[in-house]
Amino acid sequence: MQGRLTGCRRGCQFGGITDIRSICVYCGYGPGNDPAYREAAVELGRAVAQAGIRLVYGGGSVGLMGIVARSVLDNGGKVTGIIPQFLKDREEMLETECKLIVIDDMHQRKRLMFEKADAFVALPDGIGTLEETVEMMTWAQLGWHHKPVLLSNIKGLWKPLHQFLEHMAKDGFIREDLDVTYHVVDEAADIAPHQQNIANGKRDAYAKDAVSISQL
């Protein structure tokens, strides 16, 4: 799978999004076994801060979650953490360094992260990030939003998901009129500019890579 390969359906639009002011990054409490994952989180945080984009994330201070948030802060960026009370009670937060919003449950957390973000990025992680990312894909598929969803495919971690979506499409469970809209980049440094270019309507640069999932 090449870098900047996109699962964006033909004719997809990102209506209403003309500038990326905030990015929700889905990631977890584990750092992963490969140093490349940690390096990607640092690089993403640096790129987000330098682009003047606010980070919206899960509020924790450990794992890739903590790494990306600290990287944004270390580079002069702004961070909003959103976490349910039951997780706040057992996790260390970055309360003194970022804007922390404590809510009641996971459903409220996901909804608020959606409302506060102009785009979504999935760093390598487990089933929590997978669930949150697929939900944003589903909402886009249903036409509930037109915000870009991007997989940060560091070390090819998201390639099996890409292949599984292809498999579902080939077996007729993702119709051409209900394609799953998402983008894939292999380098963390490409995420912020890629999302901003999409939002600004500069999709021509990626047109050669734009394919329909149902055509893969």
- The domain spans of the chain are 22-215
* Sequence-ordered list of residues with C-beta below 8 angstroms from that of 197, at least 6 positions apart, any chain: 203, 205, 206
Q: What are phi and psi of 100, to 5 degrees?
A: -110, 125
- pLDDT computed for residue 16 by the predictor: 41
Relative to beta strand 79-84, strand 99-103 is parallel
Rounded Cα gap, residues 23 and 149, in angstroms? 10
Torsion of CA 83, 44, 191, 107, to 10 degrees: -10
Q: What is the mean pLDDT of residues 181-189?
A: 87
Which among 4, 9, 6, 5 has a CA at the least distance from the CA of 212?
A: 9
- Residue 23's beta-bridge partner residues? 55, 119
pLDDT band at 12 (very low <50, low <70, confident <90, very high): very low
Q: Which two tokens stand for residue 151?
A: 């997989």
Asked if the model's pLDDT at residue 143 lies above 70, the reply is yes
Asked if the model's pLDDT at residue 14 lies above 50, the reply is no
Q: What is the mean pLDDT of residues 41-56?
A: 94
Asked if the model's pLDDT at residue 91 lies above 80, the reply is no
- pLDDT computed for residue 158 by the predictor: 95
Per the CB < 8 A criterion, the answer to whether 112 and 104 are in contact is: no
Asked if the model's pLDDT at residue 56 lies above 60, the reply is yes
- Range in 63-67, 86-90, 196-200 with the lowest mean pLDDT: 196-200
Q: Which two tokens stand for residue 120?
A: 């979504």
The percentage of residues in the chain with a pLDDT greater than 90, rounded to a whole number, is: 60
The side-by-side arrangement of strands in the sheet containing 99-103 is 99-103, 79-84, 54-57, 22-26, 119-122, 149-152, 183-185
Q: What are phi and psi of 103, to 5 degrees?
A: -120, -175
* pTM of full prediction above 0.75: yes
Q: What architecture (CATH level 2) is domain 22-215?
A: 3-Layer(aba) Sandwich (3.40)
b/e 3-25 (16+ beta carbons within 10 angstroms → b): ebbbbbbeebebeebeebebbbb
Rounded Cα gap, residues 77 and 88, in angstroms? 23
Asked if the model's pLDDT at residue 122 lies above 50, the reply is yes
Asked if the model's pLDDT at residue 13 lies above 80, the reply is no
- pLDDT computed for residue 96 by the predictor: 65
Q: What is the mean pLDDT of residues 77-91?
A: 86
- pLDDT computed for residue 181 by the predictor: 84
Longest dimension (CA), the chain: 50
Average pLDDT, the chain: 82
- Range in 2-11, 110-119, 130-139, 167-176 with the lowest mean pLDDT: 2-11
